[in-house]
Chains A and B, each alone.
Chain A
Amino acid sequence: MKCEELLAMLNEYVDGTVDPAICEEFEKHMAGCNPCQVVVDNIRKTITLYKAGQPYELPVKFRKRLHDLLREKWKEKHKAR
């Protein structure tokens, strides 16, 4: 397997959806190719970082408005029954 081919299948390998035979090729290649190893490691860490990222806090006023509105709509909806 060449670096080009590895790059094209990067998604599948990182997501664990790659064919086991191709997975073996992948790992064989990486064993002898430091740049590819590092790139794959970088990508895994990139995804991990973003998954673990902090959510944005709702502005306090907005949160209150949102909940007030939802309660209002709920009552309207359930009254109409």
Chain B
Amino acid sequence: MITLITPETTDLELVQRAKAGDLDAFEALTTRHEQRVYSLAMRMLRQEQDAEDVTQQAFLSALESLQSFRGEASFSTWLLRIASHAALKVIRKRKGLDLVSLEEATEPSDHSDTIPHPEFIADWRQSPETLVQTREIQRLLDEALARLDEKHRLVFLLRDVEGLSVKETAETLGLSEANTKVRLLRARLQLREQLTKTLGDPATQVVRSHPREHGLAS
């Protein structure tokens, strides 16, 4: 009665089987998602040992609480949220914060956060499809990400890189949806700015001669 696990076997099927006691199914789930969990942890924490600890913790938690996974969200979303919580614990510990939510720790400055105005505006020389194949691009992406304020980076990682909804991102980070959206906007604009400086074609750069006349200035 043993059915083979193939790439076509859905996560949901694997979860059912794991819940029924099939270790191979759980291991298959781990193999499928470990890179993604590790990558998220690395981008959140930027330290290999911490990322390993968080990855391990995430899968151990998943193992322990698998019975409580009901399939309302996708398995990967569930797992990524567990991993995010574990990573956030590390971040708070680094800062000496105890159980203070990110929102409480950073909210005041957010009210005075204005939307950054695009400064360097130019068409990119190459398409994302081409860029993705170059060797330097990952380093460039990671560097740009590392330069963001953590509060912006975390939102961008969960929402844009991992594809969680705004609501899921807000809940995972303990933020309001409104705050999440503001941080997401700032992250996107700042990343755009940085990447365009390297990837933009100077020949197409928009140079404003009369900044005051054009809305995008100041």
Q: How many residues of B contact A (CB 8 A)?
A: 56
Interface size on A, residues (CB 8 A): 44
Task: List residues of chain A with CB within 8 A of the CB of B117.
Answer: 7
Interface flag for B181 (CB, 8 Å) = yes
Are B206 and A58 within 8 A (Cβ)? Answer: no
Query: What are 21 A-B residue pairs whose CB atoms fall within 8 Å in the complex?
Result: A3-B214, A8-B115, A35-B118, A35-B121, A42-B118, A42-B195, A43-B189, A47-B188, A50-B141, A53-B161, A54-B138, A55-B39, A56-B42, A58-B35, A62-B55, A66-B30, A66-B55, A66-B56, A70-B26, A70-B63, A73-B63
Given A58-B34, A66-B34: A7 in contact with B115 (beta carbons within 8 A): yes
Which residue in A46, A73, A77 is a CB contact (below 8 Å) of B192?
Answer: A46
Interface segment, B74-82, B90-98, B122-130?
B122-130
Majority SS of interface residues in chain B? helix
CA of A63 to CA of B56, assembled, Å: 9
Name the CB-closest residue of B to A40.
B192
- Judge if A28 is at the interface, Cβ distance under 8 Å: no
The yes or no answer to B27 lying at the interface (CB within 8 A) is yes
Q: Is B216 an interface residue (CB 8 A)?
A: yes
Are the CB atoms of B181 and A50 closer together than 8 Å?
A: no
Chain B residues with CB under 8 A of A34: 206
Which residues of A sit under 8 angstroms from B39, Cβ to Cβ? 55-56
Which residues of B (144-197) have their CB < 8 Å from a CB of A? 145, 156, 160-161, 163, 181, 184-185, 188-189, 191-192, 195-196
- Known A-B contacts A35-B214, A49-B141, A55-B39; the reply to A67 vs B160 at CB < 8 A is no
Binding site for B on A (CB under 8 A): 2-4, 7-8, 10-11, 14, 34-36, 38-39, 41-43, 45-59, 62-63, 65-67, 69-71, 73-75, 77-78
Partner of A39, one of B59, B121, B161, B163: B121
Inter-chain contact A73/B60, CB cutoff 8 Å: yes
Specify which chain B residues have a CB less than 8 angstroms from the CB of A74 in the assembled complex.
Answer: 23, 26, 63
B121 contacts which chain A residues (CB < 8 A)? 35, 38-39, 42
B160–A51 CB distance below 8 A: yes
B128: A residues at CB distance < 8 A? 45, 48-49, 52
A58: which B residues are within 8 A, CB to CB?
A: 34-35, 38, 55
CB–CB A56/B38 < 8 A:
yes
Please tell me if the beta carbons of B21 and A78 are within 8 angstroms of each other in the complex: yes
CB distance from A79 to the nearest CB of B (A): 11
